[in-house]
Amino acid sequence: MYEFSYHKASSVAEAAGLIASHPDAKLMSGGQTLIPTLKQRLAAPSDVIDLSKIAELKGIKVAGNVVTIGAGTLHAEVAASKDVQAAIPALAALAGNIGDAQVRNRGTLGGSIANNDPAADYPGAVVALGATVITNKRRIAGDDFFTGMFETALEADEIVTAVEFPKAEKANYQKFPNPASRYAMVGAFVAKTASGVRVAITGAGPTVFRWNDAEAALSKSLTAAALDGVKASADNLNSDIHASADYRAHLIGVLAKRAVVALG
Amino acid sequence: MTATGNAEGFGASVKRKEDQRFLTGKGNYTDDINRRGQSYAHFVRSPHAHARIRGIDASAALAMPGVLTVLTGQDVAADKLGGLICGWTIHSKDGSPMKAPAHPILALDEVRFVGDHVAVVIAETASQAKDAAEAVAVDYDVLPAVVSTADAAKPGSPLVHADVPSNLCYQWELGDKAATEAAFKNAAHIVSLDLVNNRLIPNPMEPRAAVGDYDSGTGTFTLFTTSQNPHLARLVLSAFVGIAPEHKLRVVAPDVGGGFGSKIFIYSEEAVCVWAAKKVDRPVKWTSDRSEAFLSDAHGRDHVSHAELAVDAEGRFLGLHVRTTAAMGAYLHTFSAAVPTYLYGTLLAGQYTTPAIYVEVDAVFTNTAPVDAYRGAGRPEATYLLERIVECAARDLGKDPAELRRLNFIRKFPYATPVALEYDVGDFDASMDRALELAEYSTFPARKAEAARRGKLRGIGFSAYIEACGLAPSRVAGALGAGVGLFESAQVRFNPTGNVQVFTGCHSHGQGHETTYAQLVSEHLGVSLDNIEIIHGDTAQVQYGLGTYGSRSGSVGGSAIIKAADKIIAKGRKIVAYRMEASVDDIEFKAGVFKVAGTDKQMTIAEVAFNAYVPHNYPLEELEPGLDENAFYDPQNFTFPSGTHICEVEIDPETGVTQIVKFTAVDDFGRIINPMIVHGQVHGGIAQGIGQAMLEGCHYDEETGQLITGSFMDYCMPRADDLPNFTIDATETACTHNPIGVKGCGEAGAIGSPPAVINAVTDAIGIRHMDMPATPERVWRAIQSTRLPRAAE
Ligand SMILES: Cc1cc2nc3c(=O)[nH]c(=O)nc-3n(C[C@H](O)[C@H](O)[C@H](O)COP(=O)(O)OP(=O)(O)OC[C@H]3O[C@@H](n4cnc5c(N)ncnc54)[C@H](O)[C@@H]3O)c2cc1C
């Protein structure tokens, strides 16, 4: 990696100050994406601002119908949390299936959604559950947060502090792992929420998206059969050596059905 | 050799001696070696698949902190160094020798694949070298490139080497063309098949590394390197690259973390490190990172083939005709020319009596990393082709695949194949019978029906393989174009206190030689394992050796050790005869004890050793002091491990996801020294074979020649959860021509398994063929193709 200055921030305010005064700095949470990028010399930040020791970014709270997870909470902590398992079991299961044990013990919710890898799992949950992303500056609706491949609504000096997940009546996430990377080649998150049935597809396109046709069909009848004849379009889906756009479109249908079946 | 009941000897699953250090982090790998005053090398690599180098400006790099020097192909040329070589010369059908373009250790005026070595920066630290490498300005004139094996020889394809027309390195043939053509005229059925043997990237756990050192006091070079065969590295670096004469060049291969063939070869980086050490008068270290390994380790396989099998009305094979195009990559490599020829064409008889076989192989250059031997080297490619076309024959003819194979089995040995080998021994029915039993073949239909009720497609596939290993009778290898002999050497040295050091030229990098060789010596000389040390991997300690590959260490290296041990026994008998005032003819040796026949006079081998080093009053004309013998063993023939693999899969037709639910392997490796270690070799080999069949595949971008599968994010290695528990057993026909009856087991798993997997997948779907790897999308598409006609009805 190239040389950079390292800062260990102890509060969000301190981190915000640092990022504002160092325009070429990078925030770091678990470093699971950032460090490999630096090691391959694909990024050359002047400064790295480490968020991983900031206490206020950590932790899981359940209040009423809302599960609030701090941006610095590890995937392993979400997976193991009795509160998350009780409130939104599909979210705990999703976190427990990210990467491998080492990754889950370093990687964070905030890092994952800020990075917005098209093959990441969490964006599916954020969108399907109608979550709200909280930053040091504002609240951003999950639907508005993920704007494109590796792109989000975040401003350059904005820090994700937490995500609020409303409890769903029922939810399930089905992941088809890429055989090599084990990221999501396609992931389908189906949730029956207070505002209706929501279906978010990750892995398949440049960024997570809602599958409107499926939502419409499932709103009438929340059964796998309701999806018979509903076909995801392959237009704009990713195509690579692992899966063509057509195959991804096919998998969207299969996984969405399986998620509906698993809703029970 | 008969078993003596030695609990540590032949047939005992003793734990591996070397694991103490490996499992406690005490291994000593090349990257663990640091020399006083060491500097670091970083290579500037080509970002283009093909380009002319107009110029290299290193001035900015030279001005950077810590930089000692920047060396380029011009410096190599100025020092009049030679290039890397291919140790095997193949001749084309027309008698002309293969085209062997120069392969300089740093590119001189052209680069030919992404990752090709252009220059090296030597600096005080590894990161300074890396920083400065980015500042080396190379002016490239980008040229058109070809990466496709199938297209390389087509008219209009860009030329990898301007002086090699049609990119053809050689056009080789083997077998009787006329007889094969005649066989096809008489055939009741002709089964034909087109297939690709996918290119693989070896990925040993330890990436390559090298430390070059030069002692200006003695004028001696030392190279520590990740090598499977340090003596061969010394020979090539001395005789061909011209770094230093052999006696002034020491090559040490310390602990090596796996090779699978990729560390047989002599690479640019190690040559550069040892050469540069003198130029900067500092030790020079290079450690590959994983990205460099993907780009620059020699790859494996990469064949495109068309095969036809002539069959009579009953299903007997009459003739086989194979046309293969094999990729060499951008340059010939240490053994590459031999792999798709003498290690491939010669195996096309398989276990069958096919009387006429004719094989043609066109080797082509492409703008890709060199392709060379990779676990199995040629034999997996032959086995895959043969066992796939035999399976197709069974399907086309509506015959049971096991029975069709049996109908054609060779049963009389020795058997001379139409493709130049003589199988000394084997029992193909035995392994087939046992495998069918263990795989519960007779009840497969019930399992298939049960799976169907769950909506799953279940299939079963066979592979009855034979391979040639124990490389190699030098006489045969020489006649076929090898540039070196392929014997092995051993030295058995007793120290005065009765313990033993055994020096072998077969390097161990995962195989467990330090245990199995000790077991051989323990059995043969009656010395306990604790008192035996196996020494390998250092040209300054080991007399000579050709290294570890081609499953040769047991049969060739082990036989050399036995030969040296026999000399120890002979010498011991002389010593005992002298001490006991008996005739040499009356001295018997068994389980570590020399006895004068018919008396109670005896000496243990440890006593004899001590005596040998206290030679007071020895009749020196007849009896030399010391107990230290060496031997060179050159095998009379190859050895021929064989066996039957049976794979059972279950496919989710909705997604194409394929699960291997059962894998049975019954192998005949001849006599087995350590069953536990052999099991480990089989497990690893099958895992690699399943990797090739289901997961792995190297992709270059057809337009740009960039390596797409340049990391584990895209190159899919097999993991534990991709594999079932293996059911493994052995049958035994002892090798007839070496003193220990062993054949070799290191590669068989990777040779036998891929066709079993694809035969099972295609059986489940009900299609004839699918290329490897059987990814979910390929499988899903194949299932769709079977359903289309029905949808149209
Ligand atoms: C081997 C491996 C396998 C993986 N498998 C999966 C998988 O199966 N599914 C999956 O979803 N993911 C997977 N990941 C990704 C991993 O789960 C992490 O979520 C991801 O790497 C980012 O989290 P992090 O905390 O490590 O962020 P970092 O690497 O620290 O940061 C990533 C990016 O986010 C920015 N950032 C970090 N925190 C914040 C914040 N609070 N506010 C604003 N910006 C921020 C950083 O500046 C950086 O640009 C895998 C990673 C690896 C290495």
Biggest alpha carbon distance in chain B?
100
Mean pLDDT for B398-422 is 97
Contact B755/B387 with Cβ under 8 angstroms?
yes
**A252 within some domain:** yes
Q: Whose CA is nearest to atom 18 of ligand 1?
A: A107
Helices marked H in B218-317 — which ranges? 230-235, 268-280, 290-296
Alpha-carbon distance B723 to nearest alpha carbon in chain A (angstroms): 13
The CB density around residue B339, as the number of other CB atoms within 10 Å, is 27
B331-356: per-residue pLDDT in tens?
Answer: 999 999 999 999 999 999 999 999 99
Alpha-carbon distance B302 to nearest alpha carbon in chain A (angstroms): 17
Q: Which residues of A touch B42 (CB under 8 A)?
A: none
**Chain A touched by B715 (CB under 8 Å):** yes
Q: Which residues of B touch A2 (CB under 8 A)?
A: 131
A-contacting residues of B 286-305, CB under 8 Å?
A: 291
Least confident of B68-82, B324-338, B729-743, B775-789: B775-789
Rounded CA-CA distance B700/B370 in Å is 13
**A23 within some domain:** yes
Q: How confident is the model at residue B791 (pLDDT cuts 50, 70, 90)?
A: very low
Inter-chain contact A181–B714, Cβ cutoff 8 Å? yes
**A114 within some domain:** no
Instruction: Classify each residue of B136-159 as buried b or exposed e, where b means 16 or more C-beta atoms within 10 Å of its C-beta.
Output: bebebeebebbbbbebbbeeebbb
**Chain B touched by A239 (CB under 8 Å):** no
Positive or negative: CA dihedral A226, A228, A229, A235: positive
Rounded CA-CA distance B152/B168 in Å is 8
pLDDT number for residue B1: 41
Q: Using CB atoms, which residue from A176, A241, A243 is nearest to B708?
A: A241
Inter-chain contact B695–A241, Cβ cutoff 8 Å? no
The CA-based angle B96-B98-B103, given to 5 degrees, is 145
Rounded CA-CA distance B602/B494 in Å is 19
Q: Report the residue count for chain B.
A: 793
Rounded CA-CA distance B559/B550 in Å is 15
Number of domains in chain A: 2
B690-742: per-residue pLDDT in tens?
Answer: 999 999 999 999 999 999 999 999 999 999 999 999 999 999 999 999 999 99
**A194 within some domain:** yes
Higher pLDDT, B4 or B595: B595
Positive or negative: CA dihedral B596, B597, B598, B602: positive
Alpha-carbon distance A108 to nearest alpha carbon in chain B (angstroms): 20
Mean pLDDT for A38-55 is 96
pLDDT number for residue B5: 67
Report percent pLDDT > 90 for chain A: 99
SS (H, E, C) B46-93: CCCCCEEEEEEECHHHHCCCCEEEEEEHHHHHHCCCCCCCCCECCECC
**A243 within some domain:** yes
Complete edge-to-edge strand list for the sheet that includes strand A47-50 = A5-8, A47-50, A25-28
Q: How confident is the model at residue B6 (pLDDT cuts 50, 70, 90)?
A: confident
For residue A132, pLDDT beyond 60: yes
Q: Which residues of B touch A244 (CB under 8 A)?
A: 777
Helix, strand, coil percent content, chain A, rounded in steps of 5 = 35, 25, 40
Q: How confident is the model at residue B4 (pLDDT cuts 50, 70, 90)?
A: low
**A130 within some domain:** no
* Domain assignment of residue A201, given as a range: 170-263
Tokens read off for B608: 């004899």
- Quote the mean pLDDT of chain B: 96
**A224 within some domain:** yes
Distance A184 CA to ligand 1 centre (A): 14
For residue B51, pLDDT beyond 60: yes
Q: Using CB atoms, which residue from A179, A241, A254 is nearest to B654?
A: A254
**Domain architecture of chain B: domains with CATH:** 19-26+487-633 (3.30.365.10), 33-143+205-258+263-296 (3.90.1170.50), 303-472+637-792 (3.30.365.10)
Q: Using CB atoms, which residue from A180, A247, A254 is nearest to B777?
A: A247
**Chain B touched by A64 (CB under 8 Å):** no
Q: Domain of A182: which CATH number? A: 3.30.390.50
Ligand 1 site-directed mutation target among A4, A11, A28, most atoms within 8 Å of CB? A28
Tokens read off for A29: 């949470």
Mean pLDDT for B43-64 is 98
Q: Ligand 1: which atom is nearest the Cα of residue A37?
A: 29
**A60 within some domain:** no
pLDDT number for residue B358: 98
Rounded CA-CA distance B293/B447 in Å is 43
pLDDT number for residue A264: 86
Q: How confident is the model at residue B789 (pLDDT cuts 50, 70, 90)?
A: low
pLDDT number for residue B483: 87
Task: Answer with the one of A34, A49, A64 that is the final residue of a domain.
Answer: A49
What ipTM was estimated for this complex?
Answer: 0.96
Least CA distance to A183: which residue of chain B? B713
pLDDT number for residue B604: 98
Q: How confident is the model at residue B792 (pLDDT cuts 50, 70, 90)?
A: very low
**Chain B touched by A179 (CB under 8 Å):** yes
The CA-based angle B32-B36-B39, given to 5 degrees, is 80
Q: Using CB atoms, which residue from A2, A180, A250 is nearest to B715?
A: A180
Q: Whose CA is nearest to atom 44 of ligand 1?
A: A114
Map residue B675 onto helix, strand or coil: helix
B252-303: per-residue pLDDT in tens?
Answer: 999 999 999 999 999 999 999 999 999 999 999 999 999 999 999 999 999 9
Q: Domain of A37: which CATH number? A: 3.30.43.10
For residue A41, pLDDT beyond 60: yes
B202-238: per-residue pLDDT in tens?
Answer: 999 999 999 999 999 999 999 999 999 999 999 999 9
Q: How confident is the model at residue B484 (pLDDT cuts 50, 70, 90)?
A: confident
Rounded CA-CA distance B465/B409 in Å is 11
Identify the residues whose C-beta falls under 6 Å from ligand 1.
Answer: A 26-34, 51, 71, 75, 98-99, 103, 106-108, 110-112, 114-115, 120-122, 154, 159-160, 182-183
